[in-house]
Amino acid sequence: MGVNKCNYQIDFKQRRIQDEFWTPFQKLVKNVVVPYQQAVLEDKIEGVEKSGAIQNFRIAAGLAEGDFYGMVFQDSDVAKWLEAVAYSLELEPNTELEAYADEIIEIIGKAQQPDGYLNTYFTIKDPDRRWQNFQECHELYCAGHMIEAAVAYYEATGKKKFLTIVQSNFTAQQAKPGIGI
């Protein structure tokens, strides 16, 4: 048996899954999960463990004062939320949600270091240890989630700002000896 190769790209903006199984999950994510996670990332829900994720970006950007909070991979929570926002916007435009995502992307851009480096843990807590421990420090893990989110956001909105940010971070990775991908 031969392998069939697909040489075309599927435009997800022209495709919709509408059935009894998936449609309720899509609505749940759009109407409940994305807004709830936004509130969690902003530390606005009583009784839920503090996230600190968005606040870390504000601190790294010089927009707030404080110490890094959370795990070394905390940035990935913001990236995964932005990716979910992008897919939600693909299903149904939401100008308010998009404007809020644009604000967060603006903060992420301000948190980026002059050489393109982007990771709030090392920017705030341990700047001299950048690119030192790939096994445990999740810099590439967080960068990967940021790339996925930026591509999804560009596909959903056509806006390139987030792509430019992650491209600069990738360039910073390439400049570090031993990281070249």
pLDDT tens for 108-124 read: 999 999 999 999 999 99
Question: pLDDT, tens digit, for every residue of 131-147?
Answer: 877 777 788 888 999 99
Domain ranges, residue 167: 50-175
**SS3 state of residue 15:** coil
Does this model's pTM top 0.75? yes
Question: What amino acid is encoded at 91 in this protein?
Answer: L
**SS3 state of residue 100:** helix
> Distance between CA atoms of 170 and 178, rounded to whole angstroms?
14
* Residue 61 in this model has a pLDDT that exceeds 80: yes
**Does residue 28 belong to any structural domain of this protein?**
no
**Does residue 20 belong to any structural domain of this protein?**
no
Domain count, the chain: 1
Residue 177 pLDDT: 59
**Does residue 38 belong to any structural domain of this protein?**
no
> How many other CB atoms sit within 10 Å of the CB of residue 37?
20
**Does residue 142 belong to any structural domain of this protein?**
yes
**Does residue 117 belong to any structural domain of this protein?**
yes
**Does residue 136 belong to any structural domain of this protein?**
yes
> Distance between CA atoms of 116 and 108, rounded to whole angstroms?
11
